[in-house]
Structure 1
Amino acid sequence: MSSRPRRQLHVTSPRPDNVDARHQPMGDFTPGDITSGFHVDLRGVAGSYGPPGEAEGWLDLLVLRRERILPVTVLQLGMGAWQRSIDLSDPDRAAWSDVAQRVADWAAVDMDGYGRFAHLTPMPHTYDIPAPWFSAMAQALATSLLVRVPGHFDDAARAAQSLLDPSLDMITDTEHGPILEEYQASPRPHVLNGWMWGLYGLYDLAHADGADPGLRERARAAYEAGVASLVTHLPAYETQRGWSTYDRYPHVIANIASPFYHRLHVSMLRTIARIAPQTVQAASLEATAGRWEQALSRPLTRVTAVARKVGFRLVKPRGKAA
C-alpha cells in the first residue's frame, strides 16, 4: 500500500447551530485536494449523535442492528466525523478522528466480495426493491471516506468498482451518458441527489494520492462522463416554477423534492460546478442552482411545492412501495 502525506488541519466555517443532521450546505473544499475537506458539510450529521463518545455508542448500536440499517447512515456519520477531525475550531477533533477510523474499519469488513454494501431488507417505501439491494450513493460515500482515512486505500478501490463497472448494476447507460443510481428499482428512478453523491466518489478517487494511475484515469473518465450527462439531463428535473423533482421515476404524480432536498440539490449543484471539468459546464450548473435557489425565496412556489409533495405522499405513503 502506498504511503500518503499526513492529513492537514484546516480552518472551516462554524459548526451548524444545534448540530442539525438536516443542515448540509456546501462543505469547505479545495478542488484537487481531498485532504482539504469534503464537498458537502456533514458535520451536523456527526454532531447530531452527540459528542464523540456518544457517537461511538450510537455506532455500536447501528452496527448491532445492521440488518435494518441503511449503510449510508453509518457512512455519513463517518464522513461527518472525519470533517470534524480536521476542523481546528472543534476541541474534540482527535476523538472525532477515532470515530471516522472506526467507521472506515467497519466499512472495510462490511463489503461483500464485489466491494458492495448490501441493504438487507426490502426498500420500505416509494420503490419496489427486494433485498438484497445496492446503492451507488453508499458506494461513493464509502469511497470518499476510505481514501481519506489512513490505511484504507485498497478498500476504497474495492468500493469504487460499482461506480466504474456497469455489470454491477448501479450505472444506467442512456443516450446522453451514464447515471449513477441510488436505488436499483425498475424502471430506474434516476434519483438526483444520489447521482451527485456518486460523482463525489469518482472525483475523490481520481484525486487520491497513491492511487494506481490506471484506476485514477478510469475514475477521472467516469467522472467527466457523469458530469456531462448530469448537465444534459438537468432540465428534466426542473418544474415550470423552478422547483426540482426528487427523481424521474414514472410515478402516478411527480415526486417533487421536499424543501430539504431542494436546498440540498442547490448546494450539490454548486459543489459539482466547483469541480466541473469544463467552465461551460460550471456555468450551466451555477445557472440552474441560481434558478432553484430563487424558487426557495418565493413563498407561493414553496407552498405549491410542499402541497405537491404532500399529494405525492398521499398517493404513495412511506409505508407503501411502488
Structure 2
Amino acid sequence: MGNQLLQKLTLLKRWSKILSGKTAVAVEQGIGKAFSTEKIAGYYNDLTGKVSDTTLLDDQGVPVTVIAGGDHRHFPIAIFQYALGSYDKFLLTKDQKYLTSFKSCIDWAIAHQREDGSWDAFSPIGSVKYTVSSMAQGEGASVLLRGYVQYGDAKYLDSARKAIDYMLVPLDKGGVSIHENGRLYLEEYPQSPRRSVLNGWIFSLFGLFDLSLIDKSYTNYFQQSVKTLAEELDQYDTGYWSYYDLEHRIASPAYHKLHIALLSVMAQLSDLRIYAEYAAKFEKYQNSSVNKYHAIARKVIQKLSEKSDAVIVQ
C-alpha cells in the first residue's frame, strides 16, 4: 500500500512536469526530419527533443532515468531514443558532439545486449511484470544499424540482426511477438492476452524496416506485421480519440499526437492507404477541444485507478 501511494505521488509529480514542459519524457515527437524510405538515414520519428542540456547523463555520456524513489537507472528505451535523437541532430547540424553522444549509446547497447539478442527493458525501472520488449528490440536495432552505416563495423550489423531475430521469437517461446493465423503482432509489453500497444508496435516495425533495407530476407516479416496492424487499426479508435493499447487505455494528448505522426510515417513506409486515413481521422479528433477534454478526464480516472508497475519521474 505504501509503495503504491508513493507511486501515485510520483505520477502526480510527473504529470505536473509534463504539463509544464519540464520533462523529456513527453517532449514533442513529430515526423522525423531526415529519414529516407530507401536507405538508412535519419529516424522516422523526431526524437531530437530528447537531447538537451537538461538530459541526465552518466560519466560515459549515457542517459540515466530517475524512477519512483529517486534511483537513477539505465533504461534501454530512453538510451536508444537519446541515441536516435543525437544521430538526427548530427545529420542536421554536422556537429560532432552529437556523433560522440550517439557512439556512447552504441557502446552501451553492445555491452548490455544479452547472448540471445535481447535487452532487459523494464526491470531496470522497477517493473516486476515485464522484462523484454519489442520496442526496445526495434529501437536498439535502429540505433545499431545507423552505427553500421556510419562506421562500417560489421559487429553493429550482427548485433542488430540478433536484436530483430529475438524480436521475432514467439511469446510462447520466450520472445516478444505473437504469430497467429498468418498475423504477426509485435508486443511492447509481452503478455497473454496481448496488449498490442500502438506506438510500441510501430517503433518495433521501424527497426524491422531498417533491417529489411539491408537484408531483404526480413521484408516479408515487415510486410506481414504492417498488414496485421492495418487490419487492427479500427480497434484503436474510440470514435473521438485513440486508444493507447488494446486493453482500452485511452491515449494521453501527447500519445495521441504521437499516434498521428507514427501513422503518417507508416503511410510512407507501406503502400496501405489506411494508415494515412487513420492519421487524418485522429488529427480531426485532436482538433476538437471537447474530444480532448473528454480524453484527458478519462485518462486521469484510468491512471488513478490502475495499479502502477513501474513509474518514471524523468
State the TM bucket, normalised to the shorter chain.
0.7 to 0.9
After TM superposition, give the deviation of residue 164 of structure 1 in Å.
Answer: 2.7
**How far off is 1:57 after superposition?**
4.5
Letter in 1 for 2:280: G
Q: For structure 2, which runs of at least 5 residues remain unmatched after alignment? A: 1-20
Q: Secondary structure at the match of 1:188?
A: coil
Are 1:263 and 2:257 matched, yes or no?
yes
Alignment-derived partner of residue 163 in structure 1: 167
Work out whether 1:196 is the aligned partner of 2:202: yes
- Deviation for aligned residue 1:288: 0.6
The equivalent residue for 1:99 is 101
Contact persistence 1:269–1:289 (CA under 8 A) = yes
Q: Give yes or no for the alignment of 1:154 onto 2:153.
A: no
Deviations 1:192-230 (A, max 9, x none): 10000000001001113xxxxxxx233211100011001
Determine the structure 1 residue equivalent to 2:283: 293
| Per-residue deviation, 1:264 | 0.4
Percent of residue pairs identical? 27
Q: Cα gap change, 1:58/1:122 in structure 2, threshold over 3 Å: closer, same or farther?
A: closer
18 and 257 in structure 1: CA distance in 2 versus 1, 3 angstrom threshold:
closer
Q: Distance in 2 between matches of 1:57 and 1:123?
A: 19
How far has the Cα of 1:56 moved from its partner?
6.3
Matches within 5 A, 1:269-308: 269-276=263-270, 278=271, 281=272, 283-308=273-298
Deviation, structure 1 residue 319: 5.7
- Residue 162 of structure 1 deviates from its aligned partner by 1.8
Change (3 A) 1:63 1:22: closer
Secondary structure of residue in 1 paired with 2:117: coil
Distance (Å, rounded) in 2 between the aligned partners of 1:317 and 1:23 = 27
Change (3 A) 1:64 1:194: closer
User: Matched residue of 1:86: which SS?
Assistant: helix
TM superposition score normalised by structure 1: 0.78
Aligned AA (2:78) = T
CA offset digits 1:58-92 (Å, max 9, x no partner): 8456399999432101111111111111113x6xx
Aligned to 2:115: 113
Kindly indicate whether residue 306 of structure 2 is the aligned counterpart of residue 312 of structure 1: no
Distance 1:237 1:61, change over 3 A: closer
The residue type equivalent to 2:249 in the other structure is N
Q: Please, which runs of 5 or more residues in structure 1 have no aligned partner?
A: 1-16, 209-215
Q: Tell me whether 1:221 sits opposite 2:223 in the alignment.
A: no
1:127-147 Cα deviation digits (max 9, x unpaired)? x615xx100101111111111
RMSD of the alignment, in Å? 2.8
| Residue 163 (structure 1) shift | 2.5
Q: What is the CA deviation profile of residues 277-299 of structure 1, one whole-angstrom value per residue up to 9, with x for unaligned ones?
A: x2xx1x21111110100111101
Q: CA deviation at 1:273?
A: 0.6
Q: Helix, strand or coil for the counterpart of 1:178? A: strand
Which residue of structure 1 lines up, in the alignment, with residue 7 of structure 2? none
Moved over 6 A (4+): 63-67
Q: Which has the higher contact order (CA 8 A, sep 6+)?
A: 2
**How far apart are the structure 2 equivalents of 1:107 and 1:195?**
20
The alpha-carbon deviation at position 122 of structure 1 amounts to 7.9
